[in-house]
Structure 1
Amino acid sequence: MKYIRVSQAAEQWGLSDRRVRVLCEQGKIEGVTKDGRSYLIPADAVKPIDGRSLRGKNVPQEFAALFLRIDAMKAELNKRRTLTEGELKCLQEEFLVEFTYNSNAIEGNTLTLKETAMVLEGITIDKKPLKDHLEAVGHRDAFLYIQQLIKDKAPFSERVIKDVHSLVLMDRPEDKGVYRRIPVRIADAYHEPPQPYLVPGQMEQLITEFEKKKLHPIESAALFHLKFQGIHPFIDGNGRTGRLILNFMLMQNGYPPTQIKFVDRKRYYECFDSYHSEGSTEPMIKLIAEYVEKTLRRFLKILEENY
C-alpha cells in the first residue's frame, strides 16, 4: 500500500497539519500506521467528515464512528464522481441483476444469477417455473419505479409501499397492493405478525413515526425494515418489498442502493430474531451499514483505478 505524510494529507484535504494529526490520534482515518513518531496515511484514505454533521440526529455511540466513516466516503464519492452516463448505466444494470437474483433467491426463487440476467433480457429459461420468471421481471420493474421516484424527488408514503408491492407481485393480481386479510405465521421465527385488522393502523403509525424521528438515514432505514417485516402487511412479497423500500430510503438520502446477499441470509434472519427476541436493533443496523460501506468502497476503488 502507498502511504503519504501528514503534511501531504493536510494539503490534499485542505486541513492543518495539527488537525490531521489529531484525526490520526483519534483513529478517525482508516489504515493509519506509525513510522517512529510520525503518522503514515494510506494514499487513498478518505477525508474524515466533520463530526458536527451528526448534530441534531440521535446516533447511538456505538455507531457514531461507523456512520462518520460512511458519510466521509459518500462525500468523497460525490466529489470524485466522473462516470459517464454509459458507465453509470452499466454499473446500475449489473447491480439490478444481482439485487434481483439475491432478493428473490432469499424467498425461494430457483433462478441462478446467470438465469436471472437472461430472464431480464427477455429470454425464457427451460424447465423453470413461470412464477420465477415473473418474480424476476416484477422485481426489476419495482426497482426501476423506485429509481424514477428518487429522480422525481417523490416523498415516501404508504402509496409508494403499495405500488412497489403491486409490481413485485405481478403474478398475483388479486393480492398485489392489498393488505392481508388473514392471520399469518413466519416459519421458525420468534415473532408472530399482528392480526389482520391491526395491519392498516400499524402501517400508518409506522410511517408517521419515521417521519418524525431524527435518526441517521442508515439507522432509520434499518429500523424501518425491522418493523415493516414484523408487521408483515401483505400475504406474500413482504421480504422483496421490504428490501426495495430499504433501498428507497437509502437512495432518498443520497446513499447508493445495496443488497442483502443470498449467502448472508442466515445472518439476515438472525437480525430479525435478535430484534424480536431481545429487542436488539444493532445486528440489522450493522449489517446494512456494512453493505453500504462495501458498496461505497467499491465505487471509490473503481474511480481510483480508472480516473
Structure 2
Amino acid sequence: MDLISETEVGEQVYNSNAIENSTLTLGDTEKVLLQIDLDKYISERELFEAKNLARVVNYLNKKATQSELTLEVILLLHQMLLANINDSFAGKWRNKDEWVKVGNYIAIAPEQIIDKLHKVLTDYFATNNEHIIKRIALLHLQFEQIHPFVDGNGRIGRALNNYLLIRDGFVPINIKFIDRADYYTTFNEFNETGKTKIMESIIGKALTNSYHKRLTYLEGKEIVSLVDYGKISHSNLINKAKRQTTEAFSEKGK
C-alpha cells in the first residue's frame, strides 16, 4: 500500500497544480520530481510548485497517522508549499490588510480566520459518527470558503483531505484535473445552498477509484485498458468507469 502511494505522488502533484492553472503536464511533473531536465522552459515558480507539493504529499503520507490535524500542522504544510515561492506569505494566515476574492464573494475578514478554522476542526472531530465522505466534503468546502491564506488554499485544502483520510485509516484520493469543472461547481453549490452533495460525489468516486486500484494490485488481478475490454460497448464502459460502478481505475491519465 505504501509503495502504491509513493507511485501516486507525481499524479497527485500534477492534478492539484493543474487545477490551479499550472502548465506542467504529468510527464513534465514526473521529470521535475525525478530531477530530469525538461526539453522546454518552465518558470521557477512552477518548478518549486511541483517540488514543494511533492514534499507536502510525502510528509502527510508518512506523518498523518502520527499527529492529529491542528492549525499548527496546517501552517507547517503551507510553509512547505510556498517555500521559495512566496516566503513572506509561507506558513502565515492572511493578516489584517490581506483580503481575497473567492469566486464571486469576498472571503471572511482576516481577524476571523483562526476562530473559524477552530470551529471547522472542532465540528469535524465532533461528528465522527457520520460518514467520512460527508465529513471530508464539508470540511473541504468550509476551508476553501474561509480561504485562510493569500496563496495556496486549494492545494492545501486538497492535501488536508488526504491527511484526514489517512489519519482515519482510509487511503489517499486524487481529485483529477479533468474533473475541475465539476469540482468548482461544488463551491457554488455550497456558497448558494450550503449543500455538499456534488463534493461528496467527487470525493466518493475518487476514494472508490483508489481502492479499486489497490485491490487490483494486491490481489494480482489482470489489468486491461478500457479499449481492450470488449464485453460491453466502449461508451457504456467509460460511463461505468466514471461513475465507479465497475472495477476500473485511472492511472497516469489512462
TM-score tier (shorter) = 0.7 to 0.9
Aligned-residue offset at 1:283: 0.9
Q: CA RMSD in A?
A: 1.6
Q: When the two structures are aligned, how many residues end up with a matched partner? A: 217
2:190 to 275, 293, 299: 275
Normalising by structure 2, what TM-score?
A: 0.81
Partner of 1:305, secondary structure, is coil
Tell me, yes or no, if the aligned pair for 2:134 and 2:196 is still in contact at 8 Å: no
Partner of 1:206, secondary structure, is helix
Aligned-residue offset at 1:133: 0.6
Residue in 2 that maps onto 1:39: none
Aligned-residue offset at 1:306: 4.4
Normalising by structure 1, what TM-score?
A: 0.67
Mapping of 1:81-92 within 5 angstroms?
Answer: 88-89=2-3, 91-92=4-5
Aligned-residue offset at 1:276: 0.6
CA distance in structure 2 between the partners assigned to 1:249 and 1:206 by the alignment: 13
Aligned-residue offset at 1:197: 1.5
Which runs of 5 or more residues in structure 1 are unaligned? 1-82
Which runs of 5 or more residues in structure 2 are unaligned? 223-254
Q: What whole-Å deviation, never above 9, does each CA across 1:124-181 have from its counterpart, x for those lacking one? A: 4341101001000000101111122135x21111111111111111121110110112
Residue in 2 that maps onto 1:206: 120
Aligned-residue offset at 1:190: 4.1
Residue in 2 that maps onto 1:54: none
CA distance in structure 1 between the partners assigned to 2:118 and 2:46 by the alignment: 31
Q: What whole-Å deviation, never above 9, does each CA across 1:11-45 have from its counterpart, x for those lacking one? A: xxxxxxxxxxxxxxxxxxxxxxxxxxxxxxxxxxx
The residue identity in structure 1 corresponding to 2:49 is E
Residue in 1 that maps onto 2:177: 262
The residue identity in structure 2 corresponding to 1:143 is V
Aligned-residue offset at 1:117: 0.3
CA distance in structure 1 between the partners assigned to 2:68 and 2:15 by the alignment: 27
Tell me, yes or no, if the aligned pair for 1:210 and 1:224 is still in contact at 8 Å: yes
Residue in 1 that maps onto 2:236: none
1:114 to 13, 24, 27: 27
1:163 to 61, 69, 76: 76
Aligned-residue offset at 1:93: 3.0
Aligned-residue offset at 1:221: 1.3
Aligned-residue offset at 1:303: 2.9
The residue identity in structure 2 corresponding to 1:301 is T
CA distance in structure 2 between the partners assigned to 1:241 and 1:109 by the alignment: 15
1:235 to 123, 141, 150: 150
Residue in 1 that maps onto 2:106: 192
Tell me, yes or no, if the aligned pair for 2:11 and 2:26 is still in contact at 8 Å: yes
CA distance in structure 1 between the partners assigned to 2:125 and 2:176 by the alignment: 28
Q: What whole-Å deviation, never above 9, does each CA across 1:50-104 have from its counterpart, x for those lacking one? A: xxxxxxxxxxxxxxxxxxxxxxxxxxxxxxxxx7xxxx42x22321000000000
Tell me, yes or no, if the aligned pair for 1:191 and 1:276 is still in contact at 8 Å: no
Larger radius of gyration: 1
CA distance in structure 1 between the partners assigned to 2:7 and 2:23 by the alignment: 19
Aligned-residue offset at 1:211: 2.0
Q: What whole-Å deviation, never above 9, does each CA across 1:209-254 have from its counterpart, x for those lacking one? A: 2222232222211111000000000000000000000000111111
Mapping of 1:106-145 within 5 angstroms?
Answer: 106-125=19-38, 126-145=40-59
Partner of 1:179, secondary structure, is coil
CA distance in structure 2 between the partners assigned to 1:272 and 1:147 by the alignment: 26
CA distance in structure 1 between the partners assigned to 2:143 and 2:195 by the alignment: 16
CA distance in structure 1 between the partners assigned to 2:138 and 2:74 by the alignment: 16
Residue in 2 that maps onto 1:183: 99
Q: Are residue 103 (structure 1) and residue 19 (structure 2) matched?
A: no
Percent identity over paired residues: 30
